[in-house]
Structure 1
Amino acid sequence: MSRPDGSSPDEPLGPAEGAALLKPWIGRGAAYRGAVLAVSGGPDSTALMGCAALCGAGIPLVVATVDHGLRPASAAEAEEVAGLAARLGFAHRVLAWTGPKPPARLQEAARAARYRLLADLAREAGVDLVLTAHTLDDQAETVLMRLCAGSGPAGLAGMAPARALDGLTLGRPFLGIPKARLVATCEDQGWPFVRDPSNIDPRFGRARLRRLLPLLAEEGLTAERLARLAARLRRDEAALGDAAEAALSDLRRSDPGGEGRLVLDGTGLAALPEAVALRSVALAVVAFQGDAGRQGEAPAYPPRLERLERIVLGEILPALRQGLPCRRTVAGLLLAAGGGRLTLSPAPPRRPPGLHST
């Protein structure tokens, strides 16, 4: 069965199609100084490297393989990538994730380490772009994982085609391409690749969800439809984010109590649509944390959506509408409603357990 663009779900990418996907990122006239290609040795990233070689890059490229040191074969696989990179005309670096590995949430920690190492190499090489080979299947799995975790629209928007990465740009040129097409591309071009056994390891949530995708597709919930959902939510979330930023700018008031607080017009906040009001408070929390960080204090973690909804929608906004006082702590900040205002300030330190005033 063909896809909406007329291609087969397992048809290899032709040179022209691969070039069309990559030229906006690395072709002549691209907006970037150079790029790091993240290549693990799997079929997706191997296709990324091979297609980059075929399209004739107009900016400097370096191939990087992150060796997480989690499997005995990982070092040998990195060397295989180095060999193929050399045959394709690319410089190659192996980036090792050293130090102790956490016993829990290992894949999340590995992902964070991978991006940190790639960003460090990009800065060292004087380039400003990191390209990964995330596919349509990866997007579908991400949306399903976040749906299972109870994420809101921002989470269900999935992965963006481009996002900021520690002062650089992270690009995903294959985000609309099924994994099967990249496997077929490698086989068609004779590019050797490896398969990571962790991708089918049932200990990991993403691997378990991966087994469900064919069953969901039989009911009509295909990877394409999950990706379309993500794109729609990303579009709507961007519009709501812009509305919230504009609202927050309008709501900010001078602080009669001096510095160290952020004051919002509570009446105006309570009159906003709840989706915009919620995002405005979230942005205010982030802004206050940023100010604290610039002043040398440790910023608190951003609030979880469930807690922010419960406190802002369930308590703060009703209190503002009814003219009642309300004080709640969120992400290390005290949110105080009263007198037609919402004031954000550092939360008072918690009293140690067992210590009571007399």
Structure 2
Amino acid sequence: MSEDNSPISAREAKRLFAGLKGAQGLLLAVSGGPDSVALMWLAARWHRSLSRGPRLTVVTIDHGLRPEAAREAREVKRLATGLGLPHRTVRWRGAKPKTGLPAAAREARYRLLVQAARLAGASHVLTAHTRDDQAETLLMRLVRGSGLAGLSAMARLTERDGVVLARPLLDVPKSQLIATLKRAKIGFADDPTNHDAAFTRPRLRALLPQLAAEGGDARSLARLAARLARANLAVEVLTDGAERFLRLRDRGDARQAGVRSFEASGFAALPEEVRLRILLRAINAFGHEGPAELGKVESLLAVLDQAIAASARAPANGRPALKQTLAGALISLAGGRIRIAPAPARRKGGSRVDKGGSWHRPFRDRAVRTP
């Protein structure tokens, strides 16, 4: 990539979008800010250089949170029309949450973009996340204590409900996009929430100059995220292999419908990070209360490890050595086997009752039940 303040050339733009040439259709998410306007301008420029390429559609999500948003959407439509691209504004309707608004708005944005992609016959949604965004995401997840997967930050390609989310500008600094728009004499909007210290991301963004002075600039942080993503992928491959290992040595009900089961001794022999991921995958597969929190799964794994060790010393004679629920999944240890299945429905007060009439409460990092 060129110097951080140099405009993006036609050759560089061609390289950025090269992997998308064969897509069924591309939906460009354009808010009106510099990053997304540059994405639209660069994509249109690239598209004109092709003899035949995917259809481009521009969509602006109006969250209904700022009075200026409607005007900005109209300006995006004007720019898109000038580039020969169809444009549509989609509004986030309904009541807005009083807390957790940024996360709710982000979830709504992706949901609406995927819906719009399907309507437009597009296989991909393109967003304008930059190297700066990648660095900020890493910092946000770092201060929240995320695990290796979270610290990998944003991937270049992900999938949501059958639609590919692509971030072709993830290695590009924001300053280059602004330089590109200035050379092309294209205006853009400035969302004031990007500078609002009431939100976490702007507060962390304000720290970047100080981090850069210590060598932790956006380039370094994005490189760290890429290295962590590489390590995370390696651990995922190891976890896949460990799950195959557990199935191969299993002689129990591992293939029973509606339950995941494996031998406790084989599970205990695996590295802690691999055990954690196997447990997390199973809970998320069979639970019905949303993704499990990593911290709670870590605590549960510690209790499960204790229970496995205690059971090895003194078998429980058929009684469960552990029986807990987490994220809508029931995790039990009995007869040297770990079983994860959907948990019974909750009753008033948060307790559950299974078919045999045995009561148990959701996991709260309680002490292990030993024989």
Fold-level match, TM-score > 0.5? yes
Task: Tell me the SS of whatever aligns to 2:348.
Answer: coil
Which of 316, 333, 338 is the equivalent residue of 2:334? 338
Does the alignment pair 1:328 with 2:328?
no
- Matched-pair contact (CA < 8 Å) for 1:63–1:85: yes
Q: Provide the residue aligned with 1:316 in structure 2.
A: 304
How far the C-alpha of 1:327 sits from its partner, in A, is: 2.6
* Inter-CA distance 338–82: structure 2 relative to 1 (3 Å threshold): same
What amino acid maps onto 1:160 in structure 2? A
Q: Provide the residue aligned with 1:295 in structure 2.
A: none
* Inter-CA distance 349–257: structure 2 relative to 1 (3 Å threshold): farther
Alignment of 1:251-262 (within 5 A): 251-252=246-247, 253=250, 254-255=252-253, 260-262=258-260
Which of 233, 257, 263 is the equivalent residue of 2:261? 263
Per-residue deviation, residues 324-345 of structure 1 (Å, max 9, x unmatched):
5233322122211232211113
How far the C-alpha of 1:244 sits from its partner, in A, is: 1.3
CA distance in 2 between partners of 1:281 and 1:63 (Å): 41
- Matched-pair contact (CA < 8 Å) for 1:34–1:60: yes
How far the C-alpha of 1:259 sits from its partner, in A, is: 5.1
Q: Provide the residue aligned with 2:173 in structure 1.
A: 178
Task: Tell me the SS of whatever aligns to 1:323.
Answer: helix
Which of 270, 274, 292 is the equivalent residue of 1:303? 292
CA distance in 2 between partners of 1:44 and 1:75 (Å): 18
CA distance in 2 between partners of 1:301 and 1:288 (Å): 10
How far the C-alpha of 1:225 sits from its partner, in A, is: 1.4
Which of 257, 270, 275 is the equivalent residue of 1:277? 275
CA distance in 2 between partners of 1:201 and 1:116 (Å): 25
Q: Provide the residue aligned with 2:241 in structure 1.
A: 246
Q: Provide the residue aligned with 2:363 in structure 1.
A: none
CA distance in 2 between partners of 1:162 and 1:343 (Å): 34
How far the C-alpha of 1:141 sits from its partner, in A, is: 0.6
CA distance in 2 between partners of 1:148 and 1:202 (Å): 16
* Inter-CA distance 342–42: structure 2 relative to 1 (3 Å threshold): same
CA distance in 2 between partners of 1:84 and 1:348 (Å): 54
What amino acid maps onto 1:288 in structure 2? F
How far the C-alpha of 1:349 sits from its partner, in A, is: 4.9
CA distance in 1 between partners of 2:263 and 2:14 (Å): 52
How far the C-alpha of 1:256 sits from its partner, in A, is: 9.1
CA distance in 1 between partners of 2:164 and 2:276 (Å): 28
CA distance in 1 between partners of 2:350 and 2:202 (Å): 45
Structure 2: stretches of 5+ with no match in the other structure:
313-320, 352-356, 358-371
Which of 9, 16, 30 is the equivalent residue of 1:39? 30
Q: What is the aligned-residue identity percentage?
A: 46
CA distance in 2 between partners of 1:259 and 1:121 (Å): 36
Alignment of 1:158-237 (within 5 A): 158-237=153-232
CA distance in 1 between partners of 2:61 and 2:6 (Å): 29
Does the alignment pair 1:352 with 2:340?
no
Does the alignment pair 1:52 with 2:43?
yes
What amino acid maps onto 1:226 in structure 2? L
How far the C-alpha of 1:226 sits from its partner, in A, is: 1.1
How far the C-alpha of 1:118 sits from its partner, in A, is: 1.0
TM-score, normalising length from structure 1? 0.89
CA distance in 2 between partners of 1:278 and 1:71 (Å): 42
Q: Provide the residue aligned with 1:292 in structure 2.
A: none
Bigger shift: 131-140 or 274-283? 274-283
* Inter-CA distance 47–354: structure 2 relative to 1 (3 Å threshold): closer
CA distance in 2 between partners of 1:258 and 1:234 (Å): 34
TM-score, normalising length from structure 2? 0.86
How far the C-alpha of 1:222 sits from its partner, in A, is: 1.2
How far the C-alpha of 1:348 sits from its partner, in A, is: 4.5
Bigger shift: 188-197 or 335-344? 335-344
